[in-house]
Amino acid sequence: MSEAAVMDAETRIVKDATCTFCGCVCDDMELTVVGKRITKAKNACVLGKAWFLNHHIEEHAVATIEGKPATLEEGVERAAQILANARYPIVYGLSDTTCEAQRVAVSIADRVGACVDTTTSVCHGPSGMAFQGVGEVTCTLGEVKNRADLVIFWGGNPAESHPRHWTRYSLMPKGLFVPNGRKGRTAVLVDVRKSKSAAAADIFWQIKPRKDFEVLWALRALVKGVEIDPAIEQETGISLAQMQDLVQRMKSCKFGIIFFGMGLSMTRGKHMNVEAALSLARDLNDYTRFYAKPVRGHGNVTGADNVVAWQTGYPFGVSLGRGYPRFNPGEFTTSDTLARGEADAGLIIASDPAGNFSQPAREHLKKIPYIALDPHESETTRGATVHFCTATYGINTPGTVYRMDDVPIPLRPAFDSPFPSDETVLRAIEKRVRELLRERLTN
């Protein structure tokens, strides 16, 4: 058989595949797969193309123990021993794996009395706290596409972080009640930096750093008819006239939404900044339909919130150490349990705290035994006592993920991997942990 014929026989088209690189979770990908490589990703944005086209099966042992190749069974045994013998274990990560794997991870945390936490806590965790504080007036991206005529992005740069958010959901598409698409919508961007997103906005506010709360609270006051001192411009960089103009637009639109990014949740004030945005949206419902949604980063970070909430009642930062769930950000969140030197073992799934956390948290992680599940090498996998090289979700494994608006989306994998899925590895660890705990009870 000629080489060309072999290539043809190996080439497949996978339609309606899902990109899990970011929280947009676009499910209209058309992938061209040649053997075990994706050569084209039609409909993908620049980030999605990089996600699919850079994916290849790496030469790696399925498991390593202290850096040395091991079998899957040996890795599972060591992992289960670490977790079963820990006094204050943590289960962390979870935002880049399927809901099916996430639920097994929570089950392991429950059995060993761990703190279970996701990358939400260092992303929109403060937003989760704000939801509990003031509520969330919520909607789906489908409703935004079909109805929104005023779209405000606050503290984010969607042009670079979520390129298809605009084109697929929020700005460009023609919707049922927005038949002219972009021409029928007013786009506003509020940020401290004039990022690449600014060029696409009708109105751009470059506010002073760390003044989001003040601007949002002033807008709330204006919505309620409270007078504001014009000197607010010196404080925030935004004039009273600009604020009055936006308030008028917000009150008179048919369907408005604030998409807020980590410019609110990561900056000093954190959950208070988000509470201000959520409260503003809530207040505006006295006049029109108005919503506020976080723009989520990782492909299934929203699923992690959902799964942990189904199983424990809380979305992140949950301690199961007393046999029942307790929620306390700042106490049970991983950044804190590591930085304070409390955790004595870890199970880290699809994330890189050794490369992303604060210095004190990283230093403590180096001192404790931990297990890492990740398809790729990172600072975290390099330091892991046990590393499982797993298949990539969405590309190699099926399952369910949640889009940033809490809509579940099924995955359609492109090709098989020689490596097991996160779910498979976690189920094996859970089974062995259960056996070890049972043995301890009977002895």
Contact residues: another protein, CB under 8 A:
21, 46-47, 49-51, 54-55, 117, 121-123, 125-126, 129, 157, 160-161, 163, 192-196, 206, 209-210, 262-263, 265-268, 270-271, 316-317, 329-331, 333-336, 339-340, 352, 355-361, 376-379
Shortest separation between residue 123's beta carbon and another protein, angstroms: 8
Considering the complex, state which of residue 302 and residue 351 has its C-beta at the smaller distance from another protein: 351
Shortest separation between residue 85's beta carbon and another protein, angstroms: 26
Considering the complex, state which of residue 72 and residue 192 has its C-beta at the smaller distance from another protein: 192
Considering the complex, state which of residue 26 and residue 122 has its C-beta at the smaller distance from another protein: 122
Considering the complex, state which of residue 2 and residue 359 has its C-beta at the smaller distance from another protein: 359
- CB-based contact 234:209 (threshold 8 Å): no
At 10 the three-state DSSP class reads helix
Shortest separation between residue 355's beta carbon and another protein, angstroms: 5
Shortest separation between residue 325's beta carbon and another protein, angstroms: 16
Shortest separation between residue 53's beta carbon and another protein, angstroms: 8
Shortest separation between residue 358's beta carbon and another protein, angstroms: 4
Instruction: Compute CA 324 distance to the chain's CA centroid, rounded to the nearest angstrom.
Output: 26
- CB-based contact 3:145 (threshold 8 Å): no
Shortest separation between residue 431's beta carbon and another protein, angstroms: 31
Sequential DSSP letters for 138-179: ---HHHHHHH-SEEEEES--HHHH-HHIIIIIISSS--SS-T
Backbone angles phi, psi at 408, to 5 degrees: -75, 140
Distance between CA atoms of residues 103 and 316, nearest Å: 13
At 209 the three-state DSSP class reads coil
Give pairs for 161-167: CB < 8 Å, separation 24+.
161/22, 161/261, 161/295, 161/297, 162/22, 162/23, 162/24, 162/295, 163/45, 163/46, 163/47, 164/24, 164/26, 164/45, 164/48, 165/24, 165/259, 165/295, 166/200
- CB-based contact 124:294 (threshold 8 Å): yes
Distance between CA atoms of residues 103 and 13, nearest Å: 31
Residue count of the chain: 443
Considering the complex, state which of residue 51 and residue 259 has its C-beta at the smaller distance from another protein: 51
Shortest separation between residue 23's beta carbon and another protein, angstroms: 12
Could you give the maximum distance between any two Cα atoms of the chain, in Å? 81
Q: What type of residue is 295?
A: V
Query: Rounded to the nearest 5 degrees, what angle is found at the Cα of 225, between the Cα atoms of 222 and 226?
Result: 75
Considering the complex, state which of residue 66 and residue 160 has its C-beta at the smaller distance from another protein: 160
Distance between CA atoms of residues 430 and 436, nearest Å: 10
- CB-based contact 93:351 (threshold 8 Å): yes
Shortest separation between residue 152's beta carbon and another protein, angstroms: 18
Considering the complex, state which of residue 316 and residue 370 has its C-beta at the smaller distance from another protein: 316
- CB-based contact 325:147 (threshold 8 Å): no
Shortest separation between residue 229's beta carbon and another protein, angstroms: 23
At 49 the three-state DSSP class reads helix
Q: What type of residue is 81?
A: Q
Shortest separation between residue 250's beta carbon and another protein, angstroms: 25
Shortest separation between residue 128's beta carbon and another protein, angstroms: 9
Considering the complex, state which of residue 283 and residue 352 has its C-beta at the smaller distance from another protein: 352
Considering the complex, state which of residue 230 and residue 355 has its C-beta at the smaller distance from another protein: 355
**Residue 309 CB-density burial (10 A; 0-12 exposed, 13-18 middle, 19+ buried):** middle
Considering the complex, state which of residue 331 and residue 406 has its C-beta at the smaller distance from another protein: 331
